[in-house]
Amino acid sequence: MKAIVISDSHLKSPEKLTWLARKHTDASMIIHAGDYTDSSVLTFLQSQQAFWGVWGNVDSDRIKSTLPEKRVFPLASYQVGLYHGHGTGGTTADRAFRAFANENVDIIIFGHSHQPCIFTRNKIIMLNPGSITAKRKERWFSYIVLDLEPTGVSARLVFLNDC
């Protein structure tokens, strides 16, 4: 199973994301870790294919009433924790890890920092796709292609000059 993982799109309309859906027609799912900004972006993503998402700290009340702040869901044979990563205390990765301290997850996907990374912590795969449209201090726009097979997980960061 292949999933496209994005976060922090910060868009007022979904046009800048249409190329992503066209490029990854082999992906069966889109996962968004929050900060859509406008509800039209959420509506667009939900219309493309299977979708999992959570709200982020800059999302509208409409988005917050539609999506949870955090969630755990099955993906292939893995349990995935999804949380934006906002809050206080520690790093964004620390907050995401703590959000699932009492959950049995294999993978944690988070955003908020706009800093892409892939690493493990206490045997849990930690994924932050960065931002596909708002790189802030990063050099590149980025997202993750996640392949889940019974034999293992492959997570690949994709870096872009422009989107």
DSSP H stretches of helix in the chain: 18-23, 39-48, 61-66, 92-99
Residue type, position 102, single letter: N
Per domain, the residue ranges of the chain are 2-160
Helix/strand/coil for 45: helix
In tens digits, what is the pLDDT along the chain, a chain of 163 residues? 999 999 999 998 888 888 998 899 999 999 999 999 999 999 999 998 799 999 999 999 999 999 999 999 999 999 999 999 999 999 999 999 999 999 999 999 999 999 999 999 999 999 999 999 988 889 999 999 999 999 999 999 999 987 6
Handedness of CA 119, 106, 123, 53 (dihedral sign): positive
Homologous superfamily assigned to 2-160: Metallo-dependent phosphatases (3.60.21.10)
How much is the pTM?
0.96
Measured between alpha carbons, how far is residue 98 from residues 94, 101, 108, 132 in Å?
Answer: 6, 5, 10, 25
